[in-house]
Amino acid sequence: MTMISRTLARARPPLYRNALILMGNSGLTAGLGFVFWALAARAYPPAELGLASAAISSALFIATVSLLGLPYALVRFAPSAVGGLAVVTSTIASVVTLVSAIAGIIFMAGIHTWAPSLGALAPIPLLALAVITLAAATGASTVLVYASVSARDTRPALAGGVVQGVVKSALVLGFAIVFSHAGFAVVLAWLLGTLAAVSVQLWLLRAQIARRVDLQLLRRATFLRYSAGNWAGDLAWTAPGLLFPLVVVTLLGAEANAYFFVAWAIAALLVGIPTAVASSLLAEGSHADGETDEHLRRAVRFTLPLVLMAIAVCFVGAPMLLGLFGVRYASEGVDTLRLLSLAAMPLSLNLLYLTVARVEHNIRRIVAVAAVTGGGAMILGVGLIPALGETGIALGYLIAHCLVAIPLTIEWLVRGQARPGASAGTSHD
């Protein structure tokens, strides 16, 4: 048994063990993403990188829209579903992949209306094929990650994340000397990395994937309500990060978006910590409804020290981290990166509270927390652009998360004092 295996074997309860694996996945994926963007920043002009990051963000947003909240339902309902995890996974993966492809077609059909600047990346038919395929592959990969979470064995998710990062980083340099459309080469490298990740995940999860689908799952009222609520919440929660690049390209130009997006990509390293713990919290809460409060306490104690250390490193080391991408990135993005790193603390709390609402089926809270956080970040961020440029987006993002985290934390502390040792398994359909 290796040292890593022994360490994971001692990691109890399962909330910590799976969170550590998911954190490793997030850390390696984000770290390899850091390498990818650093290589791309060195090999491609900032304007081309700005357009490429906007195109990739568009494809990821399409995939997020197309998830329909179904991955959360997979984790929450698979333990009790007819046919088990395998049938639920194959059904949801098939639906999400198809919907992602259709949504990608719709997006590309109107690209001259809502994202005309992306047309400079490559001929439209070629760009359309890449964006549609990337959206579909991202949707499928996301479902497979949640299947790993539901199975409480997150090693396939880790393997997929590593493969994606290695493949896209290896390709992005080679493509720089092959393609005349430099920005499109970045998109293509990301696409091929994602396809490689899906292939690995499918192989490792073959025992958890059935050869049939059961569309009757999508007709269950409880399943639909839960998915719809999480879909609305997920869209609001993720919209700022996926739409900000398009906003910056439109309002400030492609080069400004390159500087913003690199800072955002570095800050994503921090967000991987609470995201991993939240996924594990959802899985554990779904298998033990009566222990939600205790799981949340453990999650908070586990998450906050790690996030604080990461924030300190990122805040102090911002000039050095950005300097790895180039002198201009360091001169333009330090304030943006520092503000985004500070936002990781309230974001962590908000994400954990949001996950508790998912365990408890509290659909109203899921939508409310996500909508206020995501909507507030969009409104404040875009509103501050005229005065502060891309740094205004980071400041608006930080303020929005703080305004939500403070009352939620007070409520949680009051609830803990009022009901010491009690669980929060109440359902709120």
End-to-end CA distance of the chain: 45
Could you tell me the pTM of the whole model?
A: 0.74
Q: What pLDDT sits at residue 422?
A: 44
Q: What pLDDT sits at residue 47?
A: 86
Q: What pLDDT sits at residue 14?
A: 53
Q: What pLDDT sits at residue 117?
A: 82
Q: Which H or E element spans position 296? A: helix 292-316
Q: Give the SS3 label for residue 166.
A: helix
pLDDT in tens, 393-410: 999 999 999 999 999 998
- The residue ranges of the chain whose pLDDT is under 70 are 1-27, 78-83, 179-181, 284-292, 415-429
Q: Which class for 356: exposed (0-12), middle (13-18), buried (19 or more C-beta within 10 A)? A: buried
Q: What pLDDT sits at residue 122?
A: 81
Q: What pLDDT sits at residue 83?
A: 56
pLDDT in tens, 292-342: 677 778 888 888 898 999 999 999 999 999 998 888 888 888 999 999 999
Candidates 356, 355, 319; CA nearest to 337 is 319
Q: What pLDDT sits at residue 37?
A: 85
Give the whole-angstrom CA distance, residue 228 versus residue 232: 6
> Distance of CA 172 to CAs 133, 168, 176, 241, Å?
18, 6, 6, 23
pLDDT in tens, 288-302: 555 667 777 888 888
